[in-house]
Amino acid sequence: SQVLSVQQSLIVVFAHLIQNNLNDVVNFLTSTPGPQGSSAFDFVMYEWVTKQHLFSGPYDIKVSIIALTGLLEYAMTNNDVRFQTLVVPGDQIIYHQSGQSISHRTRSKSSKHPEQWTRVPLVVKLFKILVLELQNQINTRKELEEDVNFDDDDEDDDDEEGNVDDKEEKDGEQINESNSLKASDDEATKYLERYDNLLDDVFD
């Protein structure tokens, strides 16, 4: 976990740099040798997209996702072959004895079927990461809305007991929560709009 924390911190540094000057950073990494013989661009992007789902902390995740969104938009807009030729792990392949995929497997089955992943171009992996993050944002927003609705029911019960002061305080908290939900909704809408535009580029 300590190694992952260091890796996350380093990747977030690149995420900040990419947000500020994407083209120059990508070109610099491409022209710089990586530690495994390929370019630094291949090395950084491979480590980034394979570790993204393990990141923790809302700030680091947000910074990373924004940078990945910019990279995908850049790749699609410029039809950059670097994002098409680099192949990275896509989805994990899980089997049972008949060879059909399942969502769970035992340790004994794992020994018979070593961990395997599909292989996809970097540009496809970027898109998959962003779609998954969008779905997570939508689910989180729904959960917050359900919590607010549940609190509304509790407030109705308190009103029957005549607790006016508590109601006013909770009304203020509800307004803050509503504002937070609206901000979250606006952010999710922006994500959707960017993904829609990228989809148009993919299928045009």
Q: Could you state, in order of their start, the residue ranges of all structural domains in the chain?
A: 2-203
Tokens of 117: 């992943």
Please tell me the predicted confidence (pLDDT) of residue 51: 94
Please tell me the predicted confidence (pLDDT) of residue 100: 57
Please tell me the predicted confidence (pLDDT) of residue 144: 83
Query: How far apart (Å, rounded) are the C-alpha atoms in residues 67 and 133?
Result: 13
Q: Which residues contact 132 (CB under 8 A, 6 or more apart)?
A: 53
Please tell me the predicted confidence (pLDDT) of residue 10: 96
Q: Mean pLDDT for each 10-residue chunk of the chain (204 residues)? A: 90 96 96 94 96 93 96 95 95 69 48 77 95 89 78 58 53 55 54 56 49
Please tell me the predicted confidence (pLDDT) of residue 92: 84
Please tell me the predicted confidence (pLDDT) of residue 105: 45
Residue 1: strand, helix, or coil:
coil
Residue 116 pairs in a beta bridge with 93
Query: How far apart (Å, rounded) are the C-alpha atoms in residues 72 and 59?
Result: 20
Alpha-helical runs (H) found in the chain:
2-31, 40-51, 58-78, 82-85, 107-112, 122-160, 164-203
Please tell me the predicted confidence (pLDDT) of residue 107: 43
Contact 137, 62 (CB under 8 A): no
Please tell me the predicted confidence (pLDDT) of residue 104: 45
Please tell me the predicted confidence (pLDDT) of residue 103: 47
Query: How far apart (Å, rounded) are the C-alpha atoms in residues 187 and 148?
Result: 19
Query: How far apart (Å, rounded) are the C-alpha atoms in residues 74 and 80?
Result: 8
Tokens of 171: 């009304």
> What sign results for the dihedral spanned by CA atoms 15, 20, 26, 28?
negative
Please tell me the predicted confidence (pLDDT) of residue 162: 52
